[in-house]
Chain A
């Protein structure tokens, strides 16, 4: 199932301080499913934060969503999420808890990370990996950047979809 070209599922999710976040109308948004315990998510993390910083100036917002079952994976607990935010690892990007996992399911998210770009009309325009090599910081989340550049120039991302790479989302039993 791909969501590209379809309306992005709406959600209301709390960040680590309990503030509720939603997709905002007219704001291009990157929704990243991520977590604390996955080496792929961690390897890509700095690249994603760099995108959030640089594209914020162009009106793009990033929301990070942790959907993992924290009972079986305690590193993904709210306390551990809060610790990373307080340590400055999210650089202002809201780190949201999808405790019911309904948001991850509605996006058909498969891995951490799994990146979705939503345009200012609320349509998913890109889905997949940040770039082609988690192991190469120089890859620079280029696939995500290209998708955002296309979007901001009124064009279609090419490709609109890549294969997400990372740890499987840890669904509740």
Chain B
């Protein structure tokens, strides 16, 4: 499983997002340290990465809370928690669901998980 967190330093939410992501991975039997963390520094980087705001979490390339028609750019991302609250970070339940979906879809995922590692 390829897990990455993209962030922009102008938004202070990436630390919390990373902690919550790592906790979900730990609970799900994956290596929490395998998260690839990348900083997006310029508008050009944002455009080329399809970065629509900080933090963005992708699991096997899929956004944990996909957005339609959102422009790319250096900004803070607005998430909706499952109880409807606005938040700078995704609901851990959505992250967990994305991890489970990727886990089910990936060939050999069960073997990886049993080995306690994220590819």
Partner-B contacts on A (CB < 8 A): 37-40, 42-43, 72-74, 134-135, 137, 165-168
Which residues of A lie under 8 Å from residue B79 when comparing CB positions?
A: 39
On whether the beta carbons of A167 and B85 are closer than 8 Å, the reply is no
On whether the beta carbons of B13 and A39 are closer than 8 Å, the reply is yes
On whether the beta carbons of A37 and B12 are closer than 8 Å, the reply is no
On whether the beta carbons of B76 and A38 are closer than 8 Å, the reply is yes
On whether the beta carbons of B88 and A39 are closer than 8 Å, the reply is yes
Is B24 an interface residue when CB atoms closer than 8 A count as contact?
no
9 contacts between A and B (CB under 8 A): A39-B76, A39-B79, A72-B73, A73-B73, A134-B88, A135-B85, A165-B12, A167-B75, A167-B76
* Choice from A42, A73, A135, A167 contacting B11 with Cβ under 8 Å: A167
On whether the beta carbons of A39 and B73 are closer than 8 Å, the reply is no
* Choice from A37, A135, A137, A168 contacting B78 with Cβ under 8 Å: A37
Sorting the interface of chain B by its residue count into under 10, 10 to 19, 20 to 34 or 35 or more gives 10 to 19
Which residues of B lie under 8 Å from residue A166 when comparing CB positions?
A: 12
Tell me, in angstroms, the Cα distance from A40 to B87 when the chains sit together: 7
Which residues of B lie under 8 Å from residue A72 when comparing CB positions?
A: 73
Which residues of B lie under 8 Å from residue A40 when comparing CB positions?
A: 76, 88
CB distance from A46 to the nearest CB of B (A): 9
Is B117 an interface residue when CB atoms closer than 8 A count as contact?
no
* Choice from B75, B85, B87 contacting A37 with Cβ under 8 Å: B75
Convert B38-75 into 0s and 1s, putting 1 for each residue whose CB lies closer than 8 angstroms to a CB of A: 00000000000000000000000000000000010101
Which residues of A lie under 8 Å from residue B76 when comparing CB positions?
A: 37-40, 167
Tell me, in angstroms, the Cα distance from A38 to B78 when the chains sit together: 7
CB distance from B18 to the nearest CB of A (A): 16
Tell me, in angstroms, the Cα distance from A74 to B75 when the chains sit together: 11
CB distance from A114 to the nearest CB of B (A): 13
